[in-house]
Chains A and B, each alone.
Chain A
């Protein structure tokens, strides 16, 4: 009484290991159904009973013999799909065949499923949850659409790699089922004639080209940033859209690529990158296998139509629609499809989400939205994924299900044609390719990675060969010869000489410059020794270095210095900026200092002054990483300037205008044209060359100036006032990095009670002290400065918003 054919199971379910998901009462019930034993009242006893049952095929056969016809039909369908499938597809399978839910013994108290859930109450939900109750099916996620939350709190995803709406059966039970065909349909549509189904390659070409273009763009930009909430970074998405003008609705294609594992998050979870291995497999397999995956995915995605028509159950509706189209023997008109879907799907799933924004102008929900969603989905997602074609016949839209709607396992790559394939594109002398997706051979998809898509039309696609796109393809491993041969072979027109020579020129330009990443350099004491070693391979670099090829290994016995680790601290700097060497210098340090040192005494050295930007930009950090302690402040400034990270100091003669009410003078119509930038409320600069004119203008106002400037008195006179908290925080962070002490004028925080149980924080007493800033931290989103008071040595936590003035000390 076993199945006639062997099946490759995709179900990882082992029922006896699911005790935690089911809960004690439910697990005991499952064990009783499987083993036929009575009196099971603990998880341990139930697990034992299940282990015994699965070890004895006769017991499983007894269970199979006791199955209700509906249970047998549903389990047989799950077996046909490999042991796991979308629950909505299974639901549709049962409803289309008029199957009735198996009777189930209910206790007077509500049934306790999965520790506190009950079966859902919409029409047909019991077709699935009754099988959950007896463990014949197991959901991939709890809760799920077929359960109703009673007082439940448990959430499980025992099979995280499967979408939440999927269901599984234990393969050991499925293997004992008799061979049972699917029951006949009870909901039969009026047929709309026959139609020639498009080939799998033809149907898959469109989504495959879209995905390939997306991967090309992601490779070009080096990935896509994601926010902490896991959404796509808007700026990065905009840049990607600009890079890929032919691709509409990039966000939803990204979601598809993510579901197909073609793109994945990096280790830090901040960047979406192309999964090179999967992308290669996708390219090599051709577009056909994509169809099966797309057919399985339609129910798990949130598509643009769902958003447009505000249907929160769009995924479930699409799964049911795909299951229905798969079951139909022939094309069907759109109104007929709508009629069957109305009968198949409970009204609860077709409800539109309430739109409170439109409450004032019109109704919050539109009863016709469901029909509009169906029309849009047929022409949108299902057509884009190559699952259906929609044709106009005698004024009515006819929906033609493609072969792709059948399960992935049943989609076979098409055999190569015995006759020569028709041309896949027309290559024009202006580097444009007019591509006919229906005529693309699998290997030609790979070739189109060397071109950028300009436009996707229903029957054609336009691509353009550019320097960047050809370069990216060559970097991806495509050879110049393979590219030219492929372009020539697929084209209806001969390859123009100008196109060929330009591609050859682009390829040649790529050979002029090479960036070797993560290579090994062997350093020899003398040139003669290096030259002798070159006989065993590698490239000579300079006098004493040998660059090893990617496949070459370091000779045994040769010590290895690893530069992935922090460098040894072999430099010790004095306050005057000179340093001594305290240990052996590694290769990078020697190269860093080569030609950039001056002797400054016995075994003391200084860095030779360089022009601004004359040193590597990371010179300061690299040197500091190799030195004991921090570099002296002046040397840091010098190195910052020489490495182009800091501006040069400015020295210039300026004329100043000083007055307690200088602001009033600066705004006077007769004076303001002479006034330059402000240095404070009482001090303004005078524009270069305008000093005499300003004096004349002041004299005309009866304010002939004297030529004395009063030096500001008081510790707080040079305080810099920054009103913006973010800029203040950046200033403080820079001071921490540079090791500066600060004079701070700030308000202490004061807690003010404002009721029985609440209080608020306001600005308190004003203080002026010198601090050593230590770090910036936050309470919620409010930034604070942690600093050490230089007088008392105590740590203070100062709210950055309450810092009134700051000066470097």
Chain B
């Protein structure tokens, strides 16, 4: 008596590679207009200025992200440190609001 041939199990599916598409990351934008306040933003006249500032280690640590070519979002509560770093670097920043 021979054993019944074993049923061949279906080949195991190879696990999918983790998605790397940014669209699948949980950073989707808003569905309706939303106001965010209070935030602090650094604005430059020339985008090359912001490129240079992001290379400055004293300042880069206080920047959350670049919002556009000439705008950057500052970490909350870092305004004083940012102004000090800018002044030490020889800039004369204009301060608006606050």
Contacts and interface: CB of A to CB of B under 8 A. Distances in A.
Contact of B98 (A518, A523, A600, A617): A518
B61 A587 contact: no
A33 to B, nearest CB: 57
Contacts of A475: 94-95
B33 A512 contact: no
A599 B20 contact: yes
Contacts, number: 200
Interface string B44-87: 11100100000001001111110110010111101110110010
B43 to A, nearest CB: 4
Nearest to B68: A542
A235 interface: no
Contacts of B6: none
B86 to A, nearest CB: 6
A249 interface: no
A506 B87 CA distance: 13
Given A509-B92, A523-B30, A525-B30, A542 B37 contact: no
B61 A644 contact: yes
B29 A523 contact: yes
Given A512-B49, A519-B97, A599-B18, A588 B76 contact: yes
A622 B61 CA distance: 13
Given A525-B30, A599-B18, A563 B92 contact: no
Interface in A517-563: 517-525, 529, 533, 540-545, 547, 550, 554-555, 558-563
A513 B41 CA distance: 11
A558 B62 CA distance: 29
A480 to B, nearest CB: 12
Interface residues of A, number: 65
A514 interface: yes
A525 B65 CA distance: 19
Contacts of B1: none
A518 B97 contact: yes
B35 A514 contact: no
A618 B75 CA distance: 7
Contacts of B44: 512-514
A599 B36 contact: no
B58 to A, nearest CB: 10
B84 to A, nearest CB: 9
B38 interface: yes
A277 interface: no
Given A509-B91, A515-B96, A585-B27, A541 B63 contact: no
Interface stretch (A147-155, A304-312, A457-465, A590-598): A590-598
**DSSP class of A's interface residues: helix, strand, loop or mixed?**
mixed
Contacts of B25: 593, 597, 599, 605
B19 to A, nearest CB: 5
Given A515-B42, A563-B36, A594-B27, A617 B75 contact: yes
A587 B29 CA distance: 9
Nearest to B18: A599
Given A467-B92, A605-B26, A617-B61, A513 B43 contact: yes
Interface string A578-590: 0001000111101
Nearest to B16: A602
Contacts of B35: 520-523, 554, 558-561
A442 to B, nearest CB: 27
Contacts of A540: 68
Interface in B3-41: 18-20, 24-27, 29-41
Contacts of B36: 520-523, 560-561, 563, 586-588
Interface in A324-353: none
A541 B38 contact: no
B29 A599 contact: no
A524 B39 contact: no
A592 B20 contact: no
A592 B96 contact: no
B38 A520 contact: yes
A521 B68 contact: no
A629 interface: no
Contact of B41 (A467, A547, A558): A547
A591 B76 CA distance: 12
Contacts of B93: 510, 513-515
Given A514-B96, A518-B38, A563 B27 contact: no
Nearest to A587: B36
Contact of A521 (B37, B49, B62, B76): B37
Contact of B78 (A512, A529, A599, A618): A618
A622 B65 CA distance: 14
A518 B96 CA distance: 9
A563 B46 CA distance: 29
B76 A581 contact: no
A525 to B, nearest CB: 6
A155 B48 CA distance: 66
Contacts of B80: 222
A600 B67 CA distance: 26
Contact of B83 (A467, A509, A515, A585): A515
Contacts of B96: 514-517, 519, 550
A547 B68 CA distance: 12
Contacts of A597: 25, 27
Interface in A183-198: none
Contacts of A559: 32, 34-35
B98 to A, nearest CB: 3
Contacts of A39: none
A554 to B, nearest CB: 5
Interface in A100-152: none
A644 B92 contact: no
B33 A525 contact: yes
A6 B43 CA distance: 57
Contact of B40 (A516, A586, A587, A601): A516
B81 to A, nearest CB: 9
Interface string A13-33: 000000000000000000000
A590 B40 CA distance: 16
Given A525-B31, A541-B71, A561-B35, A518 B61 contact: no
Contacts of A533: 33
Contacts of B32: 525, 559
A542 B69 CA distance: 7
7 contacts: A512-B44, A513-B45, A513-B93, A515-B79, A540-B68, A559-B35, A616-B60
The list of the 9 closest CB pairs from A to B, nearest first, reads A517-B98, A617-B61, A542-B68, A518-B38, A599-B18, A520-B37, A513-B93, A581-B26, A591-B65
Interface of A: 222, 467, 471, 475, 506, 509-525, 529, 533, 540-545, 547, 550, 554-555, 558-564, 581, 585-588, 590-595, 597-601, 605, 613, 616-618, 622, 643-644
